[in-house]
Amino acid sequence: MVTAVAIVGVPTDFGVDRRGVDMGPSAIRYADLNACLARAAVDSVDTGDINVSVPRDHNNWASIRALWELLGDRIAEHRCSGRVPLVLGGDHSISIGTLLGLADADAVGVLWFDAHGDFNTPATSTTGNVHGMPLALATGTGSFATDALADTLSVRADRTALIGVRSLDDTEATSLRESPVSVFTMADIDEFGIAAVVREAIELVTRDVDIVFVSLDLDVLDPIEAPGVGTPVRGGITYREAHLAMELIGSNITATGRLGALELVEVNPIRDRLNETGELAAELAASAFGDRII
């Protein structure tokens, strides 16, 4: 089965403590993304980048929300045309825009691969970085519980899994323990193996939902494997573990027609070595769409 894919770039960089992830979409494309997808028998169309004219100010919520709505409209259009959106970030805040484009579904499961929890709110964040808040907003957590935007999303918090986490603020850890979100830390992966963890997460997020959103922050990998990320954290998953995780998504979610959108975020070519991380992102996308060794 040939999967039809629409590539959308979102060159944002709303974190105040580092620069460069706005160049992520270009780095992934430069890694010959289309050729990688072709190996997976994907019919891909690159629709270019969303125009990001938002000032780089993490307090500029009105403009950021307008950008999310613009992205959401683009995602919805591609889904209506029968194409699965492949979204290239940019920082991780763009996930809210992607999820807005999936809001027509009755229920959306979420697989969130990340070294961090992204579970802060404006009330708990010590930095104000919007890219550290999207999963909390998506699940209507904390001060986001009364947010009208969170209300429009179709995310099921009890059908959401965070995989590979190893760096949490104290408030995030508390909020995650109290939430319905399932958290699989690096300790879980060390103990049980990536295959068992990802299979359990897939079984969880696909239960009683229409579609699944997969968001892959490249910092889930160890910096030895992926040096070019916005916020690297030692002790992440390996090259082969990442591919196996995406291969399992390909066979259990993409192949069954339940992939709502795939997102690759936080690639920072300023920190990279010879675009290794951009190339890895392109390869992992291909694995999620069905590319195999043989």
> Catalytic residue among 13, 58, 91, 116, which?
116
**Residue 219 among the catalytic residues:** yes
Query: What is the Cβ-side half-sphere exposure of residue 57, based on CA atoms within 13 angstroms?
Result: 8
CA distance 23 to 12: 8
Closest CA to 30 of 265, 274, 246: 274
Cβ contact 198:164 at 8 Å: no
- Select which of 13, 22, 91, 114 is catalytic: 114
17 catalytic? Reply is no
Q: Is 200 one of the catalytic residues?
A: no
Which distant-in-sequence residues (6+ apart) come within 8 Å of 81 by Cβ? Answer: 6
Of 58, 78, 131, 243, the active-site residue reads 131
Active site residue 217: yes
Which of 217, 222, 225, 247 is labelled catalytic?
Answer: 217
State yes or no: is 243 an active-site residue: no
C-alpha–C-alpha distance, residues 151 and 137, integer Å = 9
281 within 8 A of 215, measured Cβ to Cβ: no
Catalytic residue, candidates 58, 78, 92, 243: 92
Q: Which of 266, 272, 279, 283 is catalytic?
A: 266
Q: Of these residues, 13, 22, 91, 118, which one is catalytic?
A: 118
Q: Is 225 among the residues known to form the active site?
A: no
Per DSSP, the three-state class of 178 is helix
Query: Among this protein's residues, is 58 annotated catalytic?
Result: no
- φ/ψ of 85, rounded to 5, equals -70, 130
Q: Is 266 a catalytic residue?
A: yes
Q: Considering 22, 91, 188, 219, which one is annotated as catalytic?
A: 219
Tokens of 6: 């629409």
CA distance 221 to 269: 15
Known catalytic residues are 92, 114, 116, 118, 131, 217, 219, 266
